[in-house]
Amino acid sequence: MSMPTGEQPFTATLAEMRAMRDEFQRFLLEYRFGLQEVETKITILRDEFQLMHDYNPIEHVSSRVKTPDSLAEKVARRGIEPDFPTIRQHITDVAGIRVTCSFVADAYRLFDLLTTQDDITVRAVKDYIAVPKDNGYKSLHAIVEVPVFLSSGRVDVPVEVQFRTIAMDFWASLEHKIYYKYDKQVPSPLLDSLRDAAETAAELDERMERLHREVHGGEVHGGERAGATPVDV
């Protein structure tokens, strides 16, 4: 069968295609291992709080490694070279974990306990709790590097960690569904309603944390937070 004029034939051999596939799998595998390291740290903190303080500051933990399609879309959107060293340098959320906490104080406390560990390097922090996005979005984002020891040696893997409350998570989930439905062209009245809902969620967080402190006599489980310095991601 003849090729259409102007088109070049695809000449990659089966061995070359397999090599490309294997290289991509190895690339993503590093991020999966890095994610497992951070998940283990979060699990240890949760279990220690439960056993030593009879209190669990974590309501839910979810994680993911970007799919090849999702990663390719982001590479194209960012306009960066589609090679592994460039992707490794410029895309820091290939692996991500979301920690949903009971209260705002818990989000900051867990951030401090995670990021002050000796083998964790903080690359960037964006505190959208202290300074929400214009649309009302709130969450504490951190890009951390964790060492992964492979047969070929040590690899420092970036992982994005998000800390938020139940109310913040519920709002973010609804906002995502609305933006998806309207293909990001959300009508202004809906945007205004979303901002109002974000304020309501923040008020609920404050009220529930105040009630929690009253019940427990102002006790802060596990010590006061050391404080997070916001840095643009």
Cβ contact 100:58 at 8 Å: yes
The Cα–Cα gap between 106 and 220 comes to 9
Which of 23, 39, 73, 160 does the annotation list as catalytic?
Answer: 160
CB neighbours of 117 closer than 8 A, spacing ≥ 6? Answer: 41
Would residue 209 show up in a list of annotated catalytic residues for this protein? no
CB neighbours of 230 closer than 8 A, spacing ≥ 6? Answer: 125, 126, 127, 130, 131
Query: Minimal CA–CA distance to 142: which of 120, 126, 153, 129?
Result: 126
The Cα–Cα gap between 233 and 152 comes to 30
Instruction: Tell me the catalytic residues.
Output: 160
